[in-house]
Structure 1
Amino acid sequence: MSDKPISILAITNLYPVPWAPHRASFNKQQFELLAQQVALRVLVLVPWREWLKHRHECLETESISYAPYFQLPGFGRSLTPWFQRWAIARKQYWIDQAKPTHLLASWAFPDAVACLMYAKNKALPVLVKVHGTDVNEHTLYPKRRHLMTTWLSQAKAIFCASQALQQKLIAIGLDKDTVCTNYNGVHAELFYPEPTGATDKKILFVGNLLDTKGVFELVDAFHLAHKETDCDLHFIGQGPATDALKTRVLQHGLAKRVTFHGALPIHQVAEHIRKAQLLVLPSYREGVPNVLLEACASGTPVVATRVGGIPEVVTEQTGILVEPQTSTALAEAILAALTKSWQKDVIVQHATRFNWHQNIQNVLARI
Structure 2
Amino acid sequence: MNPPTDPRQLAIHSFTYDLPPGRIAPAPLPDRAASRLLVSRGGVIQDRTFRDLPGELPPGTLLVFNDTKVVRARLLAQRPTGGAVELFCLEPVAPHRALEPALAQTGACTWRGLVGNGRRWKEGPVAVEFTAPDGQPATLWAARQAREAGGTALLDFRWEPVYLTFAEVLHAAGHLPLPPYLGRPDTAADAVRYQTVYAAHEGAVAAPTAGLHFTPELLAELARRGVATAHVTLHVGAGTFQPVKAAQMAEHPMHTEPLIVTAALLRQLLAHRPRPVIAVGTTSLRTLESLYWLGAALAAGAPVGPELAVGQWQPYENAPDVAPDVALGALLRHLESTGTEALAANTRLLIAPGYRFRLVQGLITNFHQPESTLLLLVAALLGPGWRAVYDHALATGYRFLSYGDSSLLLP
Structure 2 length normalisation: TM-score? 0.27
Bigger proportion of residues as strand: 2
Higher relative contact order (CA 8 A, sep 6+): 2
